[in-house]
Amino acid sequence: MKRIMGLAAAALLLTTTVAACGSSDDASRGADAPKATTITVFAAASLKGAFTEIGAEFEKANPGVTVTFNFAGSADLVSQIQQGAPADVFASADTKNMDKATGDDLVDGTPADFATNTLEIATPPGNPAKIDSLDDLARKGVKVVLCAPEVPCGAAAVGVEQASGVDIAPVSEEQSVTDVLGKVISGEADAGLVYVTDVKAAGDQVVGVTFPESGDVVNTYPIASLAGSKSPEAARAFAEFVTGTKGQAVLAAAGFAKP
């Protein structure tokens, strides 16, 4: 008898805990629903600075709408959306990953290109290896860090190499722009290829060296509201806000160019 009571108590405990977890979640959602809307924007990591600012501007212009962000690599974001993550808007750092989302009919309408980005050489403060041009990256003894060809910034780096005929042998192929920047800022690497916007965002932690060949590889950023959105109007409004005057001004200030 005691044993059964114990079992029942354990089961009860388990169900109430589970129920408690569930109900608190529902309560917060339920309370918000009538007067406020929350949209979740999945955006490429390189957009973090600009989009955080745009989000604040958008909330100011649309009282009652809250914007939350999930910043990560575009490929990660697409796979999360494909696995059913609750996203309302998707802003990708390249068209390839947006195409994956449109291919799976996850996008509402047609994606709009809203910004472009090009590569720039980042060097540690003082530019100790005296990097002046893309050719210098192929010089012997210069430790260059690139993104791996599998990730968008690495694909862009390969594009620049092919367009210019400069063959760079990196000491490391990093996972993301942030990893490349980290190695440059710490002085481990003499140079790295990152986006113009990353050099700008890093401030005086790095010195940027522009090179003419960067114009050969332009990365285009598309944005789209998503078919699975529970607040399609707010989602569409956010995508339009990004392509609108205010959004474009913020993006330009962050170093992005117009598509």
74 annotated as belonging to a binding site for a ligand? yes
Q: By C-alpha distance, which of 158, 160, 161, 153 is closest to 194? A: 153
139 binds another protein (CB under 8 A): no
183 binds another protein (CB under 8 A): yes
28 annotated as belonging to a binding site for a ligand? no
CA distance 43 to 20: 32
CA distance 200 to 154: 19
14 binds another protein (CB under 8 A): yes
Nearer to another protein, 20 or 171 (CB): 171
Instruction: Please report how close the Cβ of residue 239 comes to another protein at its closest, in angstroms.
Output: 25
Which region among 26-34, 61-69, 86-94, 181-189 touches another protein (by CB under 8 A)? 181-189
12 binds another protein (CB under 8 A): no
229 φ, ψ (degrees, to nearest 5): -65, 140
CA distance 129 to 176: 23
Start-to-end Cα distance in the chain = 74
Residues 6+ apart with CB under 8 A from 8: none
CA distance 235 to 68: 12
80 binds another protein (CB under 8 A): no
Instruction: Please report how close the Cβ of residue 16 comes to another protein at its closest, in angstroms.
Output: 14
207 binds another protein (CB under 8 A): no
> Which two structure tokens, joined as six digits, stand for 97?
């990953």
79 binds another protein (CB under 8 A): yes
171 binds another protein (CB under 8 A): yes
Which region among 44-52, 69-77, 198-206, 231-239 touches another protein (by CB under 8 A)? 69-77
19 binds another protein (CB under 8 A): no
Length of the chain: 259
Annotated binding site for molybdate: 46, 74, 177, 195
